[in-house]
Chain A
Amino acid sequence: GAVVSQHPSWVICKSGTSVKIECRSLDFQATTMFWYRQFPKQSLMLMATSNEGSKATYEQGVEKDKFLINHASLTLSTLTVTSAHPEDSSFYICSARDQGAGGRYEQYFGPGTRLTVT
């Protein structure tokens, strides 16, 4: 299947700083990428949908000024957590959609990024 990479895989930062997470589709072009967050003991929560060349669509309750998403190319989307606070500590996963054979979409996940804000 297709490969999606994320970088970094884990990051520790101080409160008040900003952190950028990259998501890349390595062997396909993804017009749509998704960013998820996982709270402890909970399922994946969709934060935003990122479309190449346009503004991201944020889910209700997600602060767009705090979680900046840029999808500048068909293979790269970035999530920047601005002015991070300890409550932003979480596991962030990106996902990219690939149109496979027969027009059916497949969605592939990156390995995730563990963010710890101290």
Chain B
Amino acid sequence: ILNVEQSPQSLHVQEGDSTNFTCSFPSSNFYALHWYRWETAKSPEALFVMTLNGDEKKKGRISATLNTKEGYSYLYIKGSQPEDSATYLCAKDAGNMLTFGGGTRLMVKP
């Protein structure tokens, strides 16, 4: 993997559904992996920073895992709510800069 890639690009779920999406990144020159919640034309909101292989972080209904050896991270949302609708960005931190993935746009229908 040469770039940071996120899948799927977009996702429509019903309120109450649980969902997850993937961030894939080059495993070389790895310092940290960041997840952001981002509403267009606003500032990205930091969700998690993960550095160690096997890291798991949780904030409320949102959690994330990290595999640095194979170069991927999963973001999980349990019991999605309409207010979770946003674009979720991951970014690989090489120590001196962030490289962003294209984002997963999540839309939660009431």
Q: Which residues of A contact B (CB under 8 A)?
A: 1, 32, 34, 38, 42-46, 49, 91, 93, 95, 104-112, 114
Q: Kindly state the separation between the CA atoms of A91 and B43 in the bound complex, as whole angstroms.
A: 10
Contact B42 A107 (CB under 8 A): no
Least Cβ distance of A56 to chain B in Å?
A: 12
Give the interface SS of chain A, mostly helix, strand, loop or mixed: strand
Q: Interface residues of B: mostly helix, strand, loop or mixed?
A: loop
Mask, B87-103, CB within 8 Å of A = 1, is: 00100010111111111
B-chain residues with CB within 8 Å of residue A108 when the two chains form the complex? 46
Instruction: Give CA–CA (A99, B98) in the complex, Å.
Output: 15
Taking the nearest CB of chain A, how far is it from the CB of B48, in angstroms?
Answer: 12
The residue that A43 contacts in the complex, of B43, B93, B100, with Cβ under 8 A, is: B100
What residues of chain A lie closer than 8 Å to B89, measured between beta carbons?
43-44
Cβ–Cβ contact B43 & A46, under 8 A: no
Number of residues from B at the complex interface, CB < 8 A = 22
**Residues in A neighbouring B32, C-beta threshold 8 A:** 104-105
User: Given A91-B41, A114-B41, are A106 and B49 neighbors across the interface (CB < 8 Å)?
Assistant: yes
Residues of A contacting B103 in the complex (Cβ-Cβ under 8 angstroms)? 43
Q: Is the CB of B44 within 8 A of A44?
A: yes
Report which of B40, B41, B93, B98 forms a contact with A46, defined as CB distance below 8 A.
Answer: B98
The complex places the Cα of A104 from the Cα of B93 at a distance, in Å, of 11
Docked pose: A93 CA to B38 CA in angstroms: 12
- Bitwise, B74-110 to A at CB < 8 A (1) or not (0) is 0000000000000001000101111111110000000
